[in-house]
Chains A and B, each alone.
Chain A
Amino acid sequence: MKILVCIKQVPDMESRFKLNSEGTWYDENDLAFRMNEYDEYAVEQAVQLKEQLGGEPEITILSIGPNRVVEAIKKALAMGGDRGVHIQDDKYYQKDPWQIAQAIAAYAGTQNYDLIFTGMQSQDRGSAQVGVTIAEELGFACATTLVGFAYDSGTITVKRELEGGSKGVAKLKLPALVTCQLGLNTPRYPTLPNIMKAKKKEILALPMADLLKETELTATEKMYPPAKRGGGIVIEGELASQLDRLVGILKDKTTVLRAA
């Protein structure tokens, strides 16, 4: 079995964001980067499947971006990936989800993968389109927002998180692509021997230009922080009067106390 896990390296969300000079993305200075949270669940699930199948599947870790993304690939390799693919692109942020998906599909289409894991969405752009578009391009079965995953002889059974807290269960035949959500698993902490081994694993570097055939469908016009709204209110005083004020605010400004 051949497994592909697509990961993205994103800024830590606690970072202090500034716009870049083009005004269409953030400035990378002073940012700390890490693996996209949802992609960690994807890597973990792939590694768990590999363990379940006695180590037979080969896991490829793929990421698009500048040289810094190699760190994220290495971490995924330390978690249990076998080989890496780095699609080099310093201007990754100028590509729309369609182009990213098309480039990945162009690579994946030549590799005969049986199963592709991606995160549900990226923490920075949050389009949630790349995974499903890759599946469409490759003609794979697809399920999104996984919170449960089981594999048995060529079929996967997945539990999906739906609106309003309900869950859905789906069965998919391979080849398939799934996108992973919080709650699917707890990503492991790489052990030191695996970190050491990961340093020696192959990471194939491919220029973006070799894979990208499509032009963008949606261009980013402008990016800006949300307009500052009023700050929070600290209610002080006696407990009873605090409660009265709180109820008053909830009645006036929200719908939570209105009868259905």
Chain B
Amino acid sequence: MEATREIYWNVGHGVVLPMYLITLIALAACGYGFWQRIGVYRQGRELNRLDNLGERVVLMAQNLFGQLKVLRVTVPGIAHASFFWGFTVLFIGTLLVMAQADFTQPLFDLVILKGTFYKFYSLVLDLAGLAALIMLLGLALRRFLVRPQGLKTTRDDYLMHALLIAIILTGFLAEGIRIAATELRQNPELARLSPVGLLVANLFASLDGQSLREMHRLWWWGHFLLVMGFIAVIPWSKFRHLFTTPANYLFTDLREKGAIATINLEEEGVEQFGADKVTDLSWKDIYDADACTSCKRCQDRCPAWNTEKPLSPMNVVQQIGEVAFGKPQANLVETVGQDVLWSCTTCRACQEVCPADIEHVNKIIEMRRNLVLMQGEFPGEEVMAAVDNVEVNGNPFGMAYASRGDWSQGLQVQQLCDGAEVDILYFVGCYASFDKRNQEVARSFLKICKAAGVRVGILGKEEKCCGEPLRKLGNEYLYQMTAQENIELIKGYQVKKIVTTCPHCLNTLGRDYRDLGLDIDVEHYTVFIDRLMKGGSLRIEAQQFDYTYHDSCYLGRYKDVIQEPRDLMGAAGGRISEMERSGYESFCCGAGGGRILAEEKLGSRINVKRVKMAEATGAPLLVSNCPFCLTMFEDGIKTGDCEGKLQVRDLAEVVAERLEPPLVRCLNNLESNARREV
């Protein structure tokens, strides 16, 4: 007997009409719910997120069907992904039944679900249901019994778990009773291919045919109506993420990571800057709230949240949604709160981990723009003073601009204003120019360049702050004024390549300045000297040492530079003990987002927290790659009582100490030349 089953067994073809009618009603309810929500999204400003549609569709398919972002957090990730795959298989299975019973069979007399394929189908669907059920129970256990800290449980979560479990259970009941009535004795071979169904069938095996038929009808309708209820309730519950989250993969920001909209300050008649109301944000910013599943992964990683500050990126995203849906004319900045907005270090940990592709950082910057540009507000008087210093002297310290190049006196470096011919422009940045500790880094970098035969030029007193802290604080106007001066200056010289020792300068010059007309290759020194080393023009003498490494946010997460610094340290003889939070999961030093200029008055100190993480590795040396991080860690080691246990150094300092002495280099060259000749 060929393996197959009678579709609409017991319920009969008479159900088709009411079934489709109810389905239509459910779909209409679902569609109506989304239609209403779309109206709310449209309150936001226009933004094209459907360009390069092909690329977007591919990204969406990868992230949806691969569950790639969800799986970044292992345990709940696997549970969600397995449930998703299981449920997807069940959905496809149901579509096949529909296709056959209502289209291919009546129209073309074509039966798909038969023979070997049907056996395979039976087994796969049964197991998919089992997997979905187990994962769902696991997730319920986690949410309602384990209760991870910070996980918000609302009415929706009860609804979702209850409904989904009920759908799967009623499905198994209908299946099992059908098997009990039609396969258990008649075709036991086939029944074995539905292990869970068989289990259920055996429970009911003693019942007579009539009872089985009655019960089957009951569970069949129960299952069907629950599914219809599920479809109808999607837009009105967190189930909406079934659509909104995958669609958010489609609407993803395809620009370079960290890109911020550059305000056109020349535009006549614009009197509103930054976001004061939800209507000042883009539709996507409102939409993001609907894509959020409250998984709190962002909050778990937020340096502000982890040091008892009022900021939770998740809450900010959801508050925007609440305002948009509840009282769209409300003052958004007041609703979210200044302390919340100023707490952000723009470290991007939230955005990097978000399984729903939500863009947290730029929302905060938009609201900060409103505070600074429209209200003249700053996180503190010290910040206002620092910003004023940048305006007057081109650096936040208020040091005389004319002394910016003083650190380089007596070193082998050329000033571009002297008409020097150089290989690279070293954009020094404010910290390496004025801060004594960071001047060591600048000197080390020059030493390395000299050893590799690279001719370096600097802008000296003509250089100004790149404007990064200003921009992240929301002061787009002063950022653009300062940036323009740097750009005009750099364009005036024949610069082929810029190297920075500061990841903040790197991001600003290399990405943000492009919007203002500078298009030059900009590299961080770690990448630059890693290439010199791998290309053979820089020789590092390995001397063993133990260290742990801090990935600065603006080099790691923003620029994907994770491996090169580790390679360099390895070549220098370093043995790494990684911190738990490293690479893309690195924990901010606390200085990003302009916070370097602000006093940390709320909660505990971020830098101390990070220094403690470094200390916990047992390594005596913490290596960093950013002047802000170095400053924060020098301070954190003192205030966190780690003096004597932990030392912080910039990567350039470590490398500069291990340059092969010229004599050894010369001998090595001779040797390799000789080898080549042989």
Contacts and interface: CB of A to CB of B under 8 A. Distances in A.
Interface of A: 12, 14-16, 30-34, 186, 188-193, 195
27 contacts: A12-B393, A12-B400, A14-B400, A15-B400, A15-B402, A16-B403, A30-B402, A30-B461, A31-B402, A32-B392, A32-B393, A32-B401, A33-B392, A34-B388, A188-B376, A189-B376, A189-B377, A191-B373, A191-B376, A192-B265, A192-B373, A192-B476, A192-B477, A193-B271, A193-B273, A193-B374, A195-B477
Given A12-B393, A30-B461, A32-B392, A191 B400 contact: no
Contacts, number: 50
A191 B378 CA distance: 12
Interface residues of B, number: 26
A186 B402 contact: no
Given A12-B398, A189-B378, A192-B477, 19 more contacts: A14-B393, A14-B398, A14-B399, A16-B402, A16-B403, A30-B400, A30-B401, A30-B461, A31-B402, A32-B392, A32-B393, A34-B388, A189-B377, A189-B384, A191-B373, A191-B374, A193-B271, A193-B373, A195-B477
Which DSSP category, helix, strand, loop or mixed, fits chain A's interface?
loop
A195 B400 CA distance: 25
The 5 closest A-B pairs by CB, nearest first: A189-B376, A30-B402, A192-B373, A15-B400, A34-B392
Contact of B376 (A14, A32, A190): A190
B375 interface: yes
Contacts of B393: 12, 14, 32
B400 A16 contact: yes
Of the candidates A32, A34, A190, A195, the one having the most CB atoms from chain B within 10 angstroms of its own CB is A32
B657 interface: no
B381 interface: yes
A190 B265 CA distance: 15
Contacts of B402: 15-16, 30-31
A218 B493 CA distance: 48
B381 A186 contact: yes
Interface in B377-398: 377-378, 381, 384, 387-388, 392-394, 398
B657 to A, nearest CB: 29
Contacts of A31: 402
A12 B400 CA distance: 8
Contacts of B394: 32
Interface string B446-483: 00000000000000010000000000000011000000
A182 to B, nearest CB: 13
A190 B388 CA distance: 11
Contacts of B400: 12, 14-16, 30, 32
Nearest to A12: B392
A32 B400 CA distance: 7
Contacts of B477: 192, 195
Contacts of A16: 400, 402-403
A191 B377 CA distance: 9
Nearest to B399: A14
B385 to A, nearest CB: 10
Interface string B401-442: 111000000000000000000000000000000000000000
Nearest to B394: A32
Contacts of B399: 14
A195 B476 CA distance: 13
Nearest to A13: B398
B473 to A, nearest CB: 11
A31 B476 CA distance: 25
Contacts of A191: 373-376
A192 B374 contact: yes
Contacts of A14: 393, 398-400
Of the candidates B376, B393, B403, the one having the most CB atoms from chain A within 10 angstroms of its own CB is B376
A160 B375 CA distance: 30
A192 B272 CA distance: 9
Contacts of A33: 392
A100 B533 CA distance: 64
Contacts of A190: 376
B407 to A, nearest CB: 15
Contacts of A32: 392-394, 400-401
Contacts of A15: 400, 402
Nearest to B393: A32
A59 to B, nearest CB: 18
A189 B377 CA distance: 8
Contacts of B273: 192-193
A188 to B, nearest CB: 5
A31 B392 CA distance: 10
Contacts of A193: 271, 273, 373-374
A237 B467 CA distance: 43
Nearest to A189: B376
Contacts of B271: 193
A201 to B, nearest CB: 16
A17 to B, nearest CB: 9
Contacts of B376: 188-191
A188 B402 CA distance: 28
Nearest to B268: A196
Contacts of A12: 392-393, 398, 400
Nearest to A40: B388
Contacts of B403: 16
B363 to A, nearest CB: 19
Of the candidates A31, A189, A190, the one having the most CB atoms from chain B within 10 angstroms of its own CB is A189
Contacts of A188: 376
Of the candidates A12, A33, A195, the one having the most CB atoms from chain B within 10 angstroms of its own CB is A12
Contacts of B372: 189
Contacts of B392: 12, 32-34
B585 to A, nearest CB: 37
A135 to B, nearest CB: 30
A1 B461 CA distance: 46
Nearest to B397: A14
Interface in B90-118: none
A18 to B, nearest CB: 10
Contacts of B388: 34
A39 to B, nearest CB: 14
A211 to B, nearest CB: 29
A27 B647 CA distance: 45
Interface string B248-281: 0000000000000000010000010100000000
A186 B372 CA distance: 16
A193 B369 CA distance: 12
B389 to A, nearest CB: 8
A33 B394 CA distance: 12
Nearest to B402: A30
Contacts of A186: 381
A73 B261 CA distance: 31
Contacts of B377: 189
Of the candidates A191, A192, A193, the one having the most CB atoms from chain B within 10 angstroms of its own CB is A192
Contacts of B381: 186
Interface string B343-382: 0000000000000000000000000000011111110010
A193 B271 CA distance: 6
A88 B403 CA distance: 30
Contacts of B384: 189
A148 B524 CA distance: 52
A202 B571 CA distance: 64
A253 B568 CA distance: 56
A229 to B, nearest CB: 22
A100 to B, nearest CB: 24
Nearest to A33: B392
A189 B398 CA distance: 17
Contacts of B476: 192
Contacts of B374: 191-193
Contacts of B373: 191-193
Nearest to A192: B373
A191 B403 CA distance: 30
B547 to A, nearest CB: 32
